[in-house]
């Protein structure tokens, strides 16, 4: 079941990345960076059998998020919200990758509580991110074509599909 959900998340991420690439790619280089890193990380986890360590992907995703929100040319409010949403998605995906691969402990010990706190915080983040994706889809760039508005919805769906195995399993 988890593999099917992860494959669905990969498809949703690919759809979002394609929409970002199709929508004026020259002006959305930072968004393309995040989309490409997310797609590579998820592809490695789902198709590649996690050949690259999860910690590496988490670090690259966090770096991409920082690059995405670094100061740059002034943009309109909606574009800044989309960029911040993309950066938050990269941070959330890093947390999802780590939460899915941190061994759970049977109880708390002097080393900590295992994956439970990370999973709980990540799941709360996923719910907020998915709601934010729907809100951005409906409100941001209302006058723009669907290809501009679809990435937040696709990324929200991808986060939910990636988080589902944490709840089920």
Note the pLDDT tens digit of each residue in 58-116. Answer: 999 999 999 888 877 656 666 777 788 889 999 999 998 888 877 655 555 545 555 67
Residues paired with 109 in a beta bridge: 112
Cα separation, 109 vs 9, whole angstroms: 34
Helix (H/G/I), strand (E/B), else coil: 112: strand
How many C-beta neighbours within 10 Å does residue 69 have?
Answer: 15
Instruction: Express each pLDDT in 1-49 by its tens digit.
Output: 667 777 778 788 788 777 777 766 555 777 888 888 988 988 888 887 7
Q: Measuring CA to CA, how many Å separate 56 from each of 26, 40, 66, 106?
A: 28, 12, 15, 27
Quote the pLDDT of residue 14.
81
Report the alpha-carbon distance of residue 57 to residue 77 in Å, rounded. 30
The model's pTM is 0.81
- CB-based contacts of 1, cutoff 8 Å, min separation 6: 165, 168
Q: What b-and-e string marks burial along 9-22, b requiring 16 or more CB atoms within 10 Å of the CB?
A: bbbbbbbbbbbbbe
């Amino acid at each position: 079941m988890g593999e099917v959900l992860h494959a669905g998340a990969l498809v949703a991420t690919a759809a979002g990345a394609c929409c970002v690439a199709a929508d004026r790619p020259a002006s959305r280089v930072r968004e393309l960076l995040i989309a490409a890193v997310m797609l590579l990380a998820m592809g490695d986890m789902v198709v590649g059998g996690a050949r690259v360590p999860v910690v590496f992907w988490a670090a690259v995703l966090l770096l991409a998020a920082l690059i995405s929100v670094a100061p740059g040319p002034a943009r309109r409010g909606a574009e800044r919200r989309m960029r911040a949403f993309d950066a938050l998605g990269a941070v959330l995906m890093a947390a999802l990758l780590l939460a899915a691969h941190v061994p759970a402990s049977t109880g708390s010990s002097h080393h900590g509580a295992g994956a439970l706190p990370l999973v709980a915080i990540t799941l709360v983040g996923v719910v907020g991110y998915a709601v934010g994706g729907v809100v951005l889809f409906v409100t941001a760039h209302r006058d723009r074509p669907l290809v501009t508005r679809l990435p937040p919805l696709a990324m929200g769906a991808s986060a939910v599909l990636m988080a589902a195995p944490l709840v089920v399993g």
